[in-house]
Amino acid sequence: MLPRADEELVRPLLAQVSRFALESIDARAIDRASAIPQRVLAGMGELGLFGLTLPEEFGGSGCSLPVACSAVAELARADRSVAVTLGLHLGLGTRGLVALGTRAQHERYLPTLASGNCIAAFATTEPGAGSDLSALQTRALDDGTALVVNGQKIYVTNGGLAGLYTLAVSTPGLGGSARGQSLLLIERGDAGLRVEAEEHKLGLRGSSTTGLSLEEMRLPYSRVLGEAGGGARALGMILSWGRTLMSAGCCGAARVALEKTVAHVAERRQFGKPLAALEVVREQMARLTARAFAMEALVDEVSRESAETLLVRSLAAKVFSSESAWMVVDGAIQLHGGLGFIEDTGLAMMLRDVRITRIFEGANDVLLSHLGAGELLRATARTPLASSLVEGALASAAKDADALAAQVDSLRQSLHARFRVGVFRQPRWLHRLGRACMWREAIDASVRRAIRSGRTDEIAQVALLTQEARVEVAALASEPSARELVEQCLAQALPLPEVRA
């Protein structure tokens, strides 16, 4: 088992995880078998990974979110399916129980969850409720003696492995809320629960993904997690942990893809020299390196946020890290040439694995609009980074970051002035503002990390990425294509339904 909670333990922990991964995890075999061998899960249990963030009182290690993120990133270097299985357990699977559970619920579930004898899952998505979580049709109705649950959940990560499921369901009337949602704890053996067959997926094939059918399931009131009718609020808190852990997995994948590529371009010779000596290759490598650095800086910083700020900043981390992981792995394949397309290299599987990170735990386009809305509601002003740095390359990078933040602020103010309260009904602009904020968050976190380390390579990476960000944010602030042009184009090209204003 891992020793007491302490962030200084992260290094030995990572060494343990890395050794374990090297000795026990065969990613290609997991991909081919579409399953993680039981001995790998048991080994993770013995290492104490399933209890990493669970309270010590119940057999966990009580570690913080940054420590858990480090472990998930390390596992993702070896295999994304294993990393997602653990990340889901520590994030969406158990965060709600740890934060909102009663003493009796903790005593009943946490010890076996901490040992890994019971794996956790989390189910909100339904056939008719994906991005729109207000549309949940699975209902728990109070018949005076119990809650009677009927409905269907789909795409449940860890669905086929789990012993405990946290379900978001509609609970009309419960807790005095006519249209409220609540979280329920469902045990695998509960009568009325059917775990459906495993889905066949593009990537993350070793990770279990199933549906759940709930038919006339009778649950005691003690299975409500947190406040009855308060499920929607709790969901935000739980998802912010889940997204941060998922972002950490993206960092691990991008880093290992980059390392493989550095080795490849140094080794592979074309035109009489190593690929690494070609100017265009060098520029591509620099951009991929800067991305990998920025995503790590952002995820690390966001993982240290308080619960309240994590709600918004985890959106930026999730979108930036998932897009960057895709970009880095895709770039890695490109620089490997034909070899990158061959499964033996491991990059093809990695590309398949990371694709879903732009969709699950909230589709990126949905989250960008939430991020834009959060920015419009933001109460406090950002402290300029350059104010404490008077000279040198760092001060120049910080000034560039401040200039980028000023661009974002000016976009925010212009939207307030133009649309006033109606701005929240401008999805295209919310989306654009969200993307601009994502860039600001990534650059700010990168500059702060470079300030802390003082490393010249990190300063150079930030400078390169800030230049890219400023160009993109400037474009975002320009008028989006007129709605009529979009509609005209669609009318000619696609049989899409008309949208009423």
Ligand X SMILES: Cc1cc2nc3c(=O)[nH]c(=O)nc-3n(C[C@H](O)[C@H](O)[C@H](O)COP(=O)(O)OP(=O)(O)OC[C@H]3O[C@@H](n4cnc5c(N)ncnc54)[C@H](O)[C@@H]3O)c2cc1C
Residue type, 219: L
The pattern of x and - marking residues 192 through 221 that bind ligand X according to CB under 6 A reads ---------x--x----x------------
Q: Write the DSSP string, 15-47.
A: HHHHHHHHHH--HHHHHHHTS--HHHHHHHHHH
Question: In this complex, which beta carbon is closest to ligand X, that of residue 134 or of residue 145?
Answer: 134
Q: Report how far apart, in Å, the C-alpha atoms of 241 and of each of 112, 264, 338, 359, 463 are.
A: 21, 35, 38, 16, 30
| 365 part of the interface to ligand X, by CB under 6 A | yes
Minimum CB separation of residue 80 from ligand X in Å reads 11
- Alpha carbon distance 220, 60 (integer Å): 27
Q: Does 356 bind ligand X (CB under 6 A)?
A: yes
Give bridge partners of residue 120 from the DSSP assignment.
164
* For ligand X, the closer CB: 204 or 254: 204
Full DSSP string of 185-196:
EEETT-TTEEEE
DSSP 58: G
Q: Using the rule CB under 6 A, give the single segment among 46-54, 96-104, 227-235, 362-370 that binds ligand X.
A: 362-370
The residue (of 88 and 459) whose beta carbon lies closer to ligand X is: 88
In the complex, minimum distance from the CB of residue 89 to ligand X, in angstroms, rounded to a whole number: 11
Residue 366 binding ligand X, by CB under 6 A: yes
- The footprint of ligand X on this chain (CB under 6 A) covers a number of residues equal to 22
Quick note: the x/- pattern for ligand X over 455-484, rule CB under 6 A, is: ------------------------------
**Which helix (DSSP H) or strand (DSSP E) does residue 210 occupy?**
strand 209-219
Name the residue nearer to ligand X (CB basis): 361 or 458.
361
Closest approach of Cβ 34 to ligand X, in Å?
Answer: 12
What is the closest distance, in whole angstroms, from the C-beta atom of residue 163 to ligand X in the complex? 15
Bridge-based pairing of strands 269-270 and 273-274 is antiparallel
Residue least distant from ligand X (Cβ): 130
In the complex, least distance from residue 268 CB atom to ligand X, rounded to whole angstroms? 34
Q: Which of 156, 195, 288, 367 forms a contact with ligand X (CB under 6 A)?
A: 156
- Which element (helix H / strand E) includes 12? helix 10-24
Q: What's the longest Cα–Cα distance across the chain?
A: 80
| 70 vs 209, beta carbon nearer ligand X | 209
Using CB under 6 A as the binding rule, whether residue 20 contacts ligand X is answered as no
Pick the closer one to ligand X by CB: 172 or 427: 427
Question: Least distance in Å: CB of 467 to ligand X?
Answer: 28
Pick the stretch among 64-72, 334-342, 360-368, 433-441 that binds ligand X (CB under 6 A).
Answer: 360-368
The answer to whether 291 and 284 are in contact (CB under 8 A) is no
Residue 380 burial by CB count (10 A; 0-12/13-18/19+): exposed, middle or buried? Answer: exposed
Question: Which position has the token pair 């308080």?
Answer: 306
How far is 403 from 112, CA to CA, in rounded Å?
51
Q: Which is nearer to ligand X, 150 or 345 (CB)?
A: 150
How distant is the alpha carbon of residue 269 from its chain centre? Answer: 37
Q: How far apart are CA 136 and CA 122, in angstroms?
A: 14
- Choose the catalytic residue: 361, 375, 441, 458: 361
Q: Toward ligand X, which CB reaches closer, 40 or 183? A: 183
Least spacing, CB of residue 490 vs ligand X, in Å = 15
Residue 39: how many CA atoms within 13 Å on its side-chain side? 7
Residue 126: CB minimum distance to ligand X, A: 8
Backbone dihedral region for residue 115 (phi beyond 0: left; psi -120 to 50: alpha; all else: beta): alpha
Token couple for 137: 């049709």
359 binds ligand X (CB under 6 A): yes
> Of 182, 208, 295, which Cα lies nearest the Cα of 249?
295
9: which DSSP letter? Answer: G
- 23 an active-site residue? no
Q: Does 362 bind ligand X (CB under 6 A)?
A: yes
Between residues 127 and 454, which has the closer beta carbon with respect to ligand X? 127
Find the binding residues for ligand X in span 265-294 (CB under 6 A): none
Is residue 360 part of the contact set for ligand X (CB under 6 A)?
yes
The least distance separating ligand X from the CB of residue 135, rounded to whole angstroms, comes to 9
- How is residue 456 written in tokens? 């010249």
Under rule CB under 6 A, which residues in 88-107 are in contact with ligand X?
Answer: 88
Q: CA-based angle 388:394:399, to the nearest 5?
A: 65
Residues within window 108-147 making contact with ligand X, judged by CB under 6 A: 122-125, 130-131
Q: Is 298:321 a contact under the CB 8 Å cutoff?
A: yes
**Between the CA of residue 13 and those of 2, 5, 125, 297, 324, what are the distances in Å?**
8, 11, 34, 20, 26
Closer residue to ligand X (CB): 41 or 265: 41
Rounded to whole angstroms, the Cα distance separating 232 from 46 reads 35
For residue 105, give the H/E element and its range.
Answer: helix 103-115
Q: Which residues are catalytic?
A: 361
Contacts with ligand X, residue ranges (CB under 6 A): 88, 122-125, 130-131, 155-157, 201, 204, 209, 356, 359-363, 365-366, 369
